[in-house]
Chain A
Amino acid sequence: MNLSDLRKLLRLFENSEIDELEIEQDGSRVRLKRGSPSGPPSQEPPDPIEVTSRPVSSDSEALAPGTMEDDLETSPNNRIFSSPIVGTFYRASTPKSEPYIRVGQTIHQGENLCVIEAMKVMNEIESDISGKVIKIYPDNGDPVEYGEPLFLIEISPTE
C-alpha cells in the first residue's frame, strides 16, 4: 500500500463511523483505530487516529480479525472441508467435552473433525485428508447445509 492509498484510506476512515479497521493487502497490514470517543461532530477537532503499518510474512499462522481471506482459500496447499450432511455443527461430542480439534492442530485422514447432529443422531464427521487446521468456519451450534465450508486445512507435504 503506497502513501497515496494510505491517505485515501485515512480520509475514508475519518469520514466514516467505523471505530477500527484493519486491512491486509499484498504483504502489508494497516490498522486504523479511533482514540477515546468524544462528543458531537463537525466543529470538534477530529479524534486522534492511530496508524500502524507493518509487513506480514506470507505463511503467518494465526489469523487476525479483519484479514482478507481470499488468498488463503485459493492457496494450492489448502483445502476446504465442507459439510457432507445437513444439521447442527458441534465442535465436541458433548457440551462438556474437549473439542475434537483446534486451529493449528494437525489432523490425520480418518480422524474426527466435529459432530453434526441430524434428526437427533450425532454424526461424527471424519476428515478425508491429513493436514493442519487453519480455520474453523462455523461457530459451535450453528446450522450447516450440504456443501457448507467447515474447515480450512493445509495439506501435509506428503499428500
Chain B
Amino acid sequence: MFNRILVANRGEIAVRIIRACKELGIKTVAIHSEADENALHVRFADRSVCVGPPPSIRSYLNVPHIISAAEITDCDAIHPGYGFLAENAEFAEMCESSRIRFIGPTPDNIRMMGNKARARRAMDELGIPVIQGSEEIVGHVDELADQAKKIGYPVVLKASSGGGGHGMRVVRNPEDFRNLFKIVSAEAAASFKDSLIYLEKYIENPKHVEIQILADSQGNLVHLGERDCSIQRRHQKLVEEAPCIDLGEDLRKEMGECALAIARDIQYENVGTVEFLFQDGKYYFMEMNTRIQVEHPVTEMVTGIDLVKEQIKITAGQPLSFSQESVRFQGHSIECRVNSEEPDNFQPVSGYITDLHIPGGPGIRVDTALLANSKIPPYYDSLIAKVIVHGMDREDAIVKMKRALNEFHIDGTKTIIPFYLRLLDHPDFIAGHYSTHFVDDMIGGLTD
C-alpha cells in the first residue's frame, strides 16, 4: 500500500481524497496555489507544498511543479481528483516515468476515451448503441441532407469546434435543412477555428443516465448502477440522483453490462463512468469519463462503497473486495451542487465567508472545503459545497434535501440554494419527469 500520496487538486475533492487516505493510514501532501495557503485541504494534509501563483495554469495545472512537489516530499502516488490534470494522459505518463503511481486509469484508457468522436466510432464498431451521426464534413450540404434523411428527423447540425450549446441548430423538417446549414456554417466560420459540420440524430427529451464502473488490475469489473444527471443548466450538471426512477431493474442490468463490455474491451482499470442518453426505453452511448466524478457520492450513499478508497486500493494492486453479485442498492440519494453564484442568473460570485453553518442530521452528507473567516478565491470554479442526502425512497430524499438546504447558512457570498428550493417544489421534478432540457426551460419560464 502507498506510504504517502500527493493530492493534485483543491477544494472539496482534495478534502475528500485526504479523508480516504487518512482512513487507509496513508500520509498526505497537499499542493496549493498562493491563493489557497490557508485552505481546508492544506490544513488537513500532513504536509503542503506551494506550487505557484493563483492562476490554475501556473499552479494546479503546472505539471513540473506538481511532480517536483511529489518528489521532494517522497510521495509514491498522486491522486489527480477531477478536472485539472485528471484526464491528462501525458501527466499520467510523466507520473509513471517519475516512478510515481497515478491513481486512475491507464494513459491509454484516458487517450482512448478523451477523443470523443473516436470513442463514439469505436463503440459503434463494438455494437454499442450510439447516437447516429455523420463524419465531420466541410460544406457538402447535399451529402449531409442525404444523411439526415437516412438518420431520420429531427437531427442536429453541430459545428465540430463548437460545444456547450454553441454552433448548434436543431432541424425538425427537411425543408429547413439547407437554411439552417447555412446559419451553422456561418457561425462556425465566424467563431471557431474550422468550419467542420457534423450531423447527429436529435434526441428530443433525453435523460442523462450514467453508469459507474470499477475495474481492478486483475480483470475484475463491477458496475455500481446508475446516476440520473439530467438536471443540468447549459450542459453543466446541477443535481444528480441514484437510482434513476425511469430505469427499472432490467434496463439497469442491461446498461450496466453494456458499460462493463466497453470497459472490458479497452482493458479499463480503476473507476470510470459511462454516460448515456436515455429516452423511451432506449439508450445511446455518449461518452466515457475516465476519472472519479463530482457526483460520486450519490453512488456511495446507495451502495455503501467508498469509491475513492477503491481507487487507491486498485492502483496499489489489490483486487476488488466485492463481486457484482454482492453489490446491494439501498434507498435513494440526491446531490445538489452548491455553487457560489447568483441564484437568478448563475453568475459566479466570490466573497469572504463571515458566518457558516453546515447542515447535518440523519442521512445528510456535506462535501465541502468551506471554512468560516476565509476567502472564496475568484480564480477557480464556483462549486463550494455538495449537499448529499440519503433517504429510504425518493420522497424521503427530497424531504431531507429541503431540510438540509434550509439549514445551510453562509454569510459572505451568494449561492444557488434558492434555485434548488424552487426546483425541489416543482411538480415535474417531484414526479421525476424531467429531461436534460428541464432546467433551461424552467429558467426560461421564470424570467418570462
Q: Are B34 and A119 in contact (CB under 8 A)?
A: no
Q: Which of A85, A143, A148 contacts B65 (CB 8 A)?
A: A85
Q: Are A86 and B51 in contact (CB under 8 A)?
A: yes
Q: Are A87 and B67 in contact (CB under 8 A)?
A: no
Residue with the highest number of chain B CB atoms closer than 10 Å, among A85, A88, A148: A85
Q: Does A55 contact B (CB under 8 A)?
A: no
- Number of contact residues on A: which range applies? 10 to 19
Which residues of B lie under 8 Å from residue A85 when comparing CB positions?
64-65, 68
B34 to A, closest residue via Cβ: A147
Q: Are B67 and A119 in contact (CB under 8 A)?
A: yes
Which residues of A lie under 8 Å from residue B59 when comparing CB positions?
146
Q: Are B34 and A86 in contact (CB under 8 A)?
A: no
Q: Which of B50, B52, B53, B98 contacts A119 (CB 8 A)?
A: B98
Distance of B251 from chain A, by nearest CB (Å): 48
Kindly state the separation between the CA atoms of A119 and B67 in the bound complex, as whole angstroms.
7
Q: Does B69 contact A (CB under 8 A)?
A: yes
Q: Are A87 and B34 in contact (CB under 8 A)?
A: no
Q: Which of A88, A118, A143, A144 contacts B64 (CB 8 A)?
A: A118
Which residues of A lie under 8 Å from residue B50 when comparing CB positions?
86, 145-148
Q: Which of B49, B53, B64, B71 contacts A145 (CB 8 A)?
A: B49
Which residues of A lie under 8 Å from residue B98 when comparing CB positions?
119
Distance of A142 from chain B, by nearest CB (Å): 9
Kindly state the separation between the CA atoms of A143 and B47 in the bound complex, as whole angstroms.
12
Q: Are A145 and B69 in contact (CB under 8 A)?
A: yes
Given contacts A85-B64, A85-B65, A86-B65, contact A119 B71 (CB under 8 A): yes
Which residues of B lie under 8 Å from residue A148 when comparing CB positions?
50
Distance of A148 from chain B, by nearest CB (Å): 7
Complex interface residues of chain B between 249 and 273 (CB less than 8 A to chain A): none
Q: Are B67 and A143 in contact (CB under 8 A)?
A: no
Binding site for A on B (CB under 8 A): 34, 49-53, 59, 64-69, 71-73, 98
Q: Which 3 A-B pairs have the closest CB atoms?
A: A143-B72, A118-B68, A86-B68
